[in-house]
Amino acid sequence: MSKPIIGFIGLGLMGGNMVENLQKRGFEVIVMDLNQDAVDAVLARGNASQAKSPKELAEKSDIVQLCLTTSAVVEKIVYSEDGILAGIKEGSVLIDFGTSIPASTQKIGAALAEKGAGMIDAPLGRTPAHAKDGLLNIMAAGDKATFDKYESMLKEQGENVFYLGKLGAGHTTKLINNFMGMTTVTAMSQAFAAAELAGVDRAQLYDIMSSGPSNSPFMKFCKNYAVDGVSDLGFSINNANKDLGYFVQMVSDLGSRSLVAEGTSTCLQAAVDAGMGNGNVPEIFDYFVKLKK
């Protein structure tokens, strides 16, 4: 039985490695990205082609996959005149591996359903290195029949594939996860900054905090930067800021409000405004140390 043709848009560090994994597994891929060098790297590995538009990519693919930066970018690629919606085939599916606003995902899913196509939101856990080997964690959601049909495809890309329910539940879970993680890192970085400002030994503070229930891998990432000067979390302040903004929006769409997330979002946005967005999240320690009342 022949393998489906995969159309893939978004060849950043994660997406590019995901496509390389697909190629190693014998899939034909059709790709698009603003970075032509990233496209050329895919083409050089063979069994690949480049689409001129999302519409063309969707017309030629059995499965369309996205690994993009924002909901706004996803909506543009889906809804534009030469977008995915204009070209996707009946019986096909759109799989969104990015982190998006759940309400946007559900809106896109409804539009695709009118064309006889399905949608799975499938945000990712783990690193680009895991992506290259097909070992990602995938938080998948959507119509159960659609998930069952494409579960084997997802398992080509993820070691652990979780089914979370109706469309949007994957993006909801990812945003909750990132809200918890990035709020924790922001708070712990503030704690180390307060120690620095007060003249308390930061290494001793870590020894004390890590000997109790506050200990966590996130605390270790914060200590690595605030105490040892090593920035190794691998998740940027820009990305954290985007995800916290999406979490705030999601909670608002649910008819509620998250004061905690708003506080974290304010801190992250301030660090971005200070030109620190490309740094890893624990580097917000520097922002807190320099912050004046």
Fold of 6-166: Rossmann fold (3.40.50)
**266, 226 contact by CB (below 8 A):** no
Among the residue ranges 103-112, 166-175, 230-239, the one predicted with the least confidence is 230-239
**19, 7 contact by CB (below 8 A):** no
The per-residue pLDDT for range 255-289, each reduced to its tens digit, is 999 999 999 999 999 999 999 999 999 999 999 99
The catalytic residue positions are 174
Share of the chain above pLDDT 70, in %: 100
Q: For residue 54, give the nearest of 84, 18, 92 by alpha carbon.
A: 84
Give the DSSP H or E segment for 93: strand 93-96
User: CATH 1.10.1040.10: which residues of the chain?
Assistant: 172-290
- φ/ψ (deg, to 5) at 9: -115, 125
Residue 1 has pLDDT above 90, yes or no: no
For residue 141, what are the β-bridge partners?
121
Given pLDDT bands bounded at 50, 70 and 90, which one contains residue 239?
very high
At residue 156, the pLDDT reads 97
| Distance in angstroms (rounded) separating the CA atoms of residues 260 and 262 | 5
Classified as helix, coil or strand, 136 is strand
CATH superfamily of 172-290: N-(1-d-carboxylethyl)-l-norvaline Dehydrogenase; domain 2 (1.10.1040.10)
Mean pLDDT across the stretch 182-187? 98
CA terminus-to-terminus distance, the chain: 66
- HSE-up of 207 (CA within 13 Å, CB side)? 5
The average confidence (pLDDT) of the chain is 97
| Distance in angstroms (rounded) separating the CA atoms of residues 30 and 52 | 10
At residue 234, the pLDDT reads 84
Query: Cβ neighbours of residue 227 under 8 Å, at least 6 residues apart?
Result: 192, 202, 203, 206
At residue 2, the pLDDT reads 86
| Distance in angstroms (rounded) separating the CA atoms of residues 283 and 66 | 29
CA 109 to chain centre: 19
User: CATH 3.40.50.720: which residues of the chain?
Assistant: 6-166
3-state SS, 8-48, equals EECCCHHHHHHHHHHHHCCCCEEEECCCHHHHHHHHHCCCE
C-alpha distances in Å from residue 145, one per residue of 120, 137, 163, 167, 169: 11, 21, 12, 12, 16
The per-residue pLDDT for range 53-66, each reduced to its tens digit, is 999 999 999 999 99
Residue 293 has pLDDT above 90, yes or no: no
**165, 193 contact by CB (below 8 A):** no
The per-residue pLDDT for range 29-52, each reduced to its tens digit, is 999 999 999 999 999 999 999 999
Residue with tokens 């329910």: 165
Give the DSSP H or E segment for 159: strand 158-163
Residue 99 has pLDDT above 70, yes or no: yes
